[in-house]
């Protein structure tokens, strides 16, 4: 029998490895399709991303719209909605010059100073423990179209909300109150600090580092979103709510971002520090077993269960979901072009990966 040289052996091992990976990917795709089928509407596209140890899997299911039967692909962009907050939190945590526990007033212009902001911090905005209202108090006064409510919420109105806000007597307490407005304020602080638009800061701190293409919602690049009725959702403009609600992504980029949290190198300078800091904070929320971190929420139903980090976001025509377990290095990312909630599907797939 002829002897095999080292190059031949390495080649055979690589081929065997690729075959095993291909078989696992096909098996996993079959399971994903089985679970996903009942969630798919006639006009719904669904992009499914999975992290399983060292492997990343991408699956594209459904159809883009009634008039386009093709499934989405790696270039399809989806609105992230409130999931935008995890990227904003990451940028803030990379910005070491901004102290999270210093008075928020320190980072606001003199014209916006008041007693209330001196009692709050960026930490409280990040963890939704500032007891701020969900929406900016003056948002309703700027709405010209209820189907596109944030379109005219410009920097001027955000500054007006900061200048005129009067808190109720309980606001100084660390009560959990999920706030879109709070993360818009974080975006404002970041713009002032870097002296750049938020999207430029996003490019500098995340896109350049990861070679990704997260961006502000641009209807010309998005899939059509769909409402509950199946009709195409109106296009959205998030103006100065972008840092909180207005980013979009394709599946490969979001999965790459999430994967840095699943298995982060703690020594990876600013990025590693930002990831660890984001996941080590756990503030109580109004729901049992659910805690707020920096951008992410975490849940642990029983003592023996692993800690699950998660966040989701819905807009008028899209839904996005992420959940991951660092202990097992598994994650599920779902992006859909419908307002319908599929968080339960995401948790079921994550549970399946951890059986």
Query: Packing angle between helix 6-36 and helix 343-353, nearest 10 degrees?
Result: 140
The per-residue pLDDT for 75 is 95
CB 242 within 8 A of CB 84: yes
CB 244 within 8 A of CB 187: yes
178, 51, 226, 299: CA torsion to nearest 10: -30
The per-residue pLDDT for 24 is 63
Among residues 294, 85, 296, which one has the least CA distance to residue 187? Answer: 85
Q: How many angstroms separate the CA atoms of 87 and 248, rounded?
A: 11
Q: How many angstroms separate the CA atoms of 327 and 53, rounded?
A: 10
Give the residues across from 51 on adjacent strands. Answer: 56, 331
Q: What share of the chain is helix, strand, coil (3-state, %, to 5)?
A: 45, 15, 40
Alpha carbon distances (Å) from 191 to 95, 155, 158, 242: 12, 11, 13, 12
Q: Could you tell me the domains of the chain?
A: 32-353 (3.40.710.10)
Per-residue pLDDT of the chain (355 residues; tens, 9 = 90+): 455 455 554 444 444 444 444 556 677 888 888 888 877 766 689 999 999 999 999 999 998 888 888 999 999 999 999 999 999 999 999 999 999 999 999 999 999 988 889 999 999 999 999 999 999 999 999 999 999 999 999 999 999 999 999 876 654 456 899 999 999 999 999 999 999 999 999 999 999 999 999 999 987 889 999 988 788 999 999 999 999 999 999 999 999 999 999 987 654 577 888 999 999 888 888 888 899 999 999 998 788 889 999 999 999 999 999 999 999 999 999 999 998 899 999 999 999 999 8
Residues contacting residue 271 through CB under 8 Å, at least 6 positions apart: 94, 209, 260, 264
Q: How many helices (H) and strands (E) does the chain have?
A: 12, 11
Q: How many angstroms separate the CA atoms of 116 and 166, rounded?
A: 7
CB-side neighbour CA atoms (13 Å) of 315: 36
- 276 backbone dihedrals φ, ψ, rounded to 5°: -60, -40
Query: In this structure, are strands 319-325 and 330-336 parallel, antiparallel, or unpaired?
Result: antiparallel
Q: How many angstroms separate the CA atoms of 156 and 320, rounded?
A: 29
CA angle 48, 52, 53 (to 5 degrees): 150
The per-residue pLDDT for 14 is 47
Query: In this structure, are strands 297-299 and 290-292 parallel, antiparallel, or unpaired?
Result: antiparallel
114, 115, 119, 123: CA torsion to nearest 10: -10
């Amino acid at each position: 029998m002829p002897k095999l040289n080292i190059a031949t052996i390495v080649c055979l091992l690589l081929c065997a490895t690729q075959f095993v990976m291909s078989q696992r990917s096909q098996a996993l795709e079959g399971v994903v399709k089985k679970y996903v089928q009942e969630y798919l509407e006639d006009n719904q596209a669904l992009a499914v991303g999975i992290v399983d140890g060292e492997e990343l899997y991408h699956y594209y299911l459904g159809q883009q719209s009634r008039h386009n039967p093709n499934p989405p692909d790696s270039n399809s962009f989806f609105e992230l909605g409130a999931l935008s907050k995890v990227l904003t939190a990451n940028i803030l945590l990379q910005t070491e010059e901004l102290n999270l526990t210093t008075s928020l007033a320190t980072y606001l212009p003199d014209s916006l100073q008041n007693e209330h902001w001196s009692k709050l911090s960026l930490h409280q905005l990040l963890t939704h423990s500032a007891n701020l209202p969900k929406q900016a108090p003056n948002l309703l006064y700027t709405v010209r179209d209820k189907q596109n409510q944030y379109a005219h919420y410009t920097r001027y109105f955000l500054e007006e909300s900061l200048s005129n806000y009067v808190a109720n007597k309980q606001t100084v307490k660390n009560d959990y109150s999920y706030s879109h407005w709070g993360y818009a304020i974080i975006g404002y602080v970041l713009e002032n600090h870097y002296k750049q638009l938020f999207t430029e800061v996003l490019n500098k701190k995340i896109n350049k580092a990861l070679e990704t293409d997260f961006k502000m919602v641009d209807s010309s690049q998005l899939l059509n979103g769909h409402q509950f009725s199946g009709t195409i959702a109106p296009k959205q403009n998030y103006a100065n709510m972008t840092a909180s609600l207005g980013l979009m992504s394709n599946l490969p980029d979001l999965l790459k971002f999430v994967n840095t949290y699943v298995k982060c190198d703690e020594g990876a300078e600013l990025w590693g520090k930002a990831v660890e800091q984001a996941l080590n904070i756990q503030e109580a929320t109004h729901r049992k077993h659910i805690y707020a971190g920096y951008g992410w929420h975490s849940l642990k139903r029983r003592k023996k269960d692993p800690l699950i980090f998660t966040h989701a976001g819905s807009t008028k025509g899209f839904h996005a979901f992420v959940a991951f377990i660092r202990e097992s290095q598994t994650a599920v990312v779902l992006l859909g072009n419908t307002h319908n909630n599929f968080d339960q599907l995401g948790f079921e797939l994550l549970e399946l990966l951890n059986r």
